[in-house]
Structure 1
Amino acid sequence: MSGDPTTERAEDPSTQEGIPINLTGVPETMLWTLYNRAGEARRPDGFLRDPECVRVYESIDYDYERSFGKPDASHPMRSRVFDDALRPWLHAHPGGTVVELGAGLETQSHRCDDGRVQWLCVDVPEAIAVRERFLPPSERCRYVPKSALDLGWLDEVDPARGVFVSAQGLFMYFEEADVRRLFVAIVDRCPGVELMFDTIPPWFSRKTLKGFQKTKYYRAPPMPWGIRRDDIEPLLRRWSPRVASTSAVNYGVFARGPSGALLRLCSRLPGLRNLPPAIVHVKTTGATA
């Protein structure tokens, strides 16, 4: 294999159209995010360029619209925000390691690869099995078939040149105690690590626990962990003295139309900014506090 994850592609039969995929529960959400990213990437005015996502989307035999309705900009917006934070980190940490927790069918390694970074994609075995069919691993892009809560994946991380951990659409599916245990383990094992993850507000968490029907045919998995944007930094600082800084932005940065304008307005108003989901970027210190 070459060491470039942007050039490694599955050969027959994986790249042929119409491959059926059978997933349930949280792993099935990888198809939801793929669908929305592909919808944006296929637009001539799209803000996310993601040809590998489009290729994978078109290769899978799945009735996306039946399950998820019309595509929206939520997930591609999230990926774009993560990309925009990661690229300067890559420049500052040549040969560093990027860990994607709950990697699913995310194609960030193809959008952002700089020819030097080491990618580590962590997800449950059934998700990794699907990922391998359409996005094969390579010398610099390794896969670990474990839950993010199985801290054994940390043994695969080389912290020597810096570590960036991302978790797109993952932490909300865990209980808060599990998120805390995972967060503390990462910070303790990888001094100076940067982390990015997204959160949902408590009202939406409660909605999913009661049963959130995205469409008639698809019910989203329960999301137990919800948190207000204003509560994120104080909570993380209680969890670890190594938190150096925390920034958060609301969903809606690139959203179009009236809904996008409303989300951006919410992000500027103290009371309303706690209502939408948020994306969190955490920087930590390397020394024990």
Structure 2
Amino acid sequence: MSEQIRLTGAQRTLLGPLHARALDNRRPDPVLGDEAADRLLDRIDFDFSSLNLGSGNRMAIILRAKELDAWATDYLAEHPDAVVLHLACGLDSRAFRLALPDSALWYDVDLPDVIELRNRLYTETPVNYRTIASSATDPEWLDEIPTGRPTLVIAEGLTMYLTEADGVAMLRRLVERFEVGEMMFDAVLPWTVKASSASRFLQSTGAEFHWAVGDVHALELRVPGLRLRCERPVVGLPDASRMPASERIIAKAMTAVPPLRDSMRLLRFSFEHQPREQVELTGAQATMLATVYLRALDNRSEQPMLGDRWADEAVQRIDFDFSKFKMSSRNTASVAMRARIIDRWTEEALRPGTTVLHLGCGLDSRYERIAPSEDVEWYDVDQPDVIELRDRFFPASPHRRSIGSSVTSPELLDGIRGDQPVLVVAEGLVMYLTEQDGLDLLRRITRHFPSGELIFDAFSTFGVRLSNRFNPAVVHAGARLHWGIDDPRALEDSVPGLRLVNEWAFTDAPEVDRYPMPMRAAIRASGQITAVRRMGRMLRYRF
């Protein structure tokens, strides 16, 4: 008896993978070998030619399913008692294709009308198999699943149909509830979402793509506990060599062009739930969260510039929606480069018996990165609520102290010995001060200590104006920059005893050579323009 199909929109797209798997099984040498899909095709009363599923799409579906089967098999071999959550399962026979251990529990999850159809078509199922009729993004169905076991989450052909907010919220709920396991799913790039409006397959179903995962490491940090194990372009999978000749040609051509090669990738993550700290910061203080987030992204890149593992650990523990800053891996280089240069200058300036004032420290792990000798007295200084948060992340040390105070407070230096040389490090601080507050701070320091060095970054007036309008961290945190330093030597006249010993424009930094070639050339060329060159600089003074 034939089954009538009455599905629309994203639900209707489940017929495409079913058709592709059935056609693959009818080849003399099938790649996936899904006999169940082949049998279902004969039982469904539907004109599959109306889906307009091209050969390239069919190839991607088969390769994607084959690799996910292999990953799932690996996980179940290591964790035979696992709970498997197969989200947006459609009519997929994965639960029956794989050799499911008797001790495992398998849950196929999809919308009610899909599950109703599925239950009519699959009448004989294992005793450790269940279906759940619910949207994958609905939190209530999770109550039906036992916890305390290793958990495998498979979501094939799902994420791109979700909104970003729904997708991230779903992943976070899964990690928080099941605590340890793996997730594996496919994802598309932003350009793929834009181009999907021209897809004849999607047009035939009325479905739309919404969510692109362009930056995998940003997704890791938005879902605390998630850690990428591997990333595979679908068209580059080994079984592409077994596809029909026309599809092999498509795969080879796409593999040669990175944006096409990566248009659909398979992502495999491990996850382990970690307790998180609630954070409530606004304005200039909130920008420190953007800084630590970008350093964490840098740490997860293939070639970190700073390699701040402490930032990575902190972001994993912070309960905060970093996406509000609208920043990604593209923004990491400037932040990592600035910190790396300041670290290098700090190491050069440290002498035995030095007192270090780390002003506006935020959640910076500079003390950990530099590891100064025990005869250095180190003070981390920031607003009281920032220091209270900081002390939860960084362990106390006999030679490092925290001071909860505004850097502009006249009492800031009370209680700090004034008979030793000082090294003042202030990254990402002075531009948030007014000029008068900044000058008063520098004068108090030079009066309190007999000698020392000051290391900080500064923007020009033009740079301050641009940042207030276009810097995503500043704009989305509701912060405001004030002090622009156009002539670093003018500070020598304003602060008695101060002498400029080094000035370095960001466009001159050797780390710029690590940017991709088009960007690297543009940055070097822009450094020839005086106004651009002075926008952001590293300054080093002695007194």
Shift of 1:226: 1.6
Shift of 1:29: 0.8
Q: TM-score, normalised by structure 1?
A: 0.84
Give 1:34's aligned residue: 18
Distance 2:96 2:52 in 1: 25
Give 2:234's aligned residue: 251
Q: Structure 1, residues 113-133: CA drift from partner, whole Å, max 9, x if none?
A: 334221101111111111111
**Does the residue aligned with 2:143 lie in a helix, a strand or coil?**
helix
Kindly indicate whether structure 1 or structure 2 has the higher relative contact order, using CA contacts under 8 Å at least 6 residues apart. Answer: 1
Shift of 1:53: 1.2
Give 1:242's aligned residue: 225
Is contact 1:175-1:225 (8 Å) kept? Answer: yes
**Equivalent AA in structure 2 for residue 251 of structure 1:** V
Give the alignment of 1:109-188 within 5 angstroms: 109-116=95-102, 117-136=104-123, 138-188=126-176
**Equivalent AA in structure 2 for residue 160 of structure 1:** G
Is contact 2:254-2:260 (8 Å) kept? Answer: no
Distance 2:110 2:226 in 1: 25
**Equivalent AA in structure 1 for residue 117 of structure 2:** V
* CA separation of 1:239 and 1:205: change in aligned 2, threshold 3 A: same
Among residues 95, 104, 111, which one is paired with 2:90 in the alignment?
Answer: 104
Distance 2:260 2:195 in 1: 18
Distance 2:31 2:152 in 1: 23
**Does the residue aligned with 2:149 lie in a helix, a strand or coil?**
coil
Shift of 1:161: 2.9
**Does the residue aligned with 2:136 lie in a helix, a strand or coil?**
coil
Q: Structure 1, residues 209-241: CA drift from partner, whole Å, max 9, x if none?
A: x453238x814511111232xx11x22222133
Q: Structure 1, residues 232-273: CA drift from partner, whole Å, max 9, x if none?
A: 1x222221331233421111123342112123444xx5x665
Give 2:207's aligned residue: 221
Distance 1:81 1:103 in 2: 16
**Equivalent AA in structure 2 for residue 192 of structure 1:** V
Q: Structure 1, residues 64-114: CA drift from partner, whole Å, max 9, x if none?
A: 122234552221211111101011111111121111110110110111133
Alpha-carbon RMSD across the aligned residues, in angstroms, is 2.0
Question: Which structure would you say has the larger Rg?
Answer: 2
**Equivalent AA in structure 2 for residue 262 of structure 1:** A
**Does the residue aligned with 2:201 lie in a helix, a strand or coil?**
strand
Distance 1:272 1:66 in 2: 26
**Higher helix proportion, which one?**
2
**Does the residue aligned with 1:169 lie in a helix, a strand or coil?**
coil
Give 1:5's aligned residue: none
* Higher mean C-alpha displacement, 88-97 vs 134-143: 134-143
Give 1:59's aligned residue: 43
**Equivalent AA in structure 2 for residue 74 of structure 1:** A
Total equivalences in the alignment:
264
Specify every segment of 5 or more residues in structure 1 that has no aligned partner in the other structure, as ranges. Answer: 1-15
Give 1:204's aligned residue: 192
Is contact 1:77-1:251 (8 Å) kept? Answer: yes
Give 1:4's aligned residue: none
Is contact 2:52-2:200 (8 Å) kept? Answer: no
Seq. identity, % = 26
Distance 2:117 2:193 in 1: 28
Distance 1:246 1:115 in 2: 24
1:89 has 2:75 as partner: yes
Stretches of 4+ moved more than 3 A in 1?
263-266, 271-274, 286-289
* Higher mean C-alpha displacement, 97-106 vs 109-118: 109-118
Distance 1:38 1:103 in 2: 16
Distance 1:69 1:243 in 2: 34
Distance 1:77 1:122 in 2: 22
**Does the residue aligned with 1:73 lie in a helix, a strand or coil?**
helix
Among residues 15, 19, 32, which one is paired with 2:3 in the alignment?
Answer: 19
Give 2:472's aligned residue: none
* Higher mean C-alpha displacement, 256-265 vs 121-130: 256-265
Distance 1:281 1:24 in 2: 30
* CA separation of 1:203 and 1:244: change in aligned 2, threshold 3 A: closer
Specify every segment of 5 or more residues in structure 2 that has no aligned partner in the other structure, as ranges. Answer: 276-316, 318-543
Among residues 249, 261, 270, which one is paired with 1:283 in the alignment?
Answer: 270
Is contact 1:128-1:143 (8 Å) kept? Answer: yes
